[in-house]
Amino acid sequence: MICPFCHANDDRVIDSRSTESGRVIRRRRQCNNCERRFTTYERVEQASRLMVVKRDGSRVPFSPDNILAGIAAACGKRPIPEEVKRKLVEDVEEELHHEFEREVASHIIGERVMTRLRATDHVAYIRFATEHLQLSTLADIQAELDDLTTRPAGGVDQTDLFRPG
Question: What pLDDT is recorded for position 161?
Answer: 32
- Which residue spans within the chain are E strands per DSSP? 11-19, 24-31, 37-43, 51-53, 59-61, 103-105
Question: What pLDDT is recorded for position 6?
Answer: 97
What average pLDDT does the segment 35-40 reach?
96
More confident residue, 158 or 100: 100
What's the Cα-to-Cα distance from 51 to each of 55, 57, 64, rounded to whole Å?
Answer: 13, 11, 12
Write the pLDDT tens digit of every residue in 113-142: 999 999 999 999 999 999 998 888 999 889
Q: What is the DSSP letter of 137?
A: S
Query: 74 exposed, middle or buried (CB, 10 Å; 0-12, 13-18, 19+)?
Result: buried
Q: Are 153 and 118 in contact (CB under 8 A)?
A: yes
**Helix, coil or strand: residue 124:** helix
What average pLDDT does the segment 43-67 reach?
86
Q: What secondary structure does DSSP assign to 141-158, as a single string?
A: HHHHHHHHHHS-TT---G
Question: What pLDDT is recorded for position 153?
Answer: 60
Beta bridge partners of 104: 52
Question: What pLDDT is recorded for position 21?
Answer: 77
> Is 69's pLDDT higher than 90?
yes
Name the residue type at position 76: G
Q: Which residues contact 76 (CB under 8 A, 6 or more apart)?
A: 124, 127
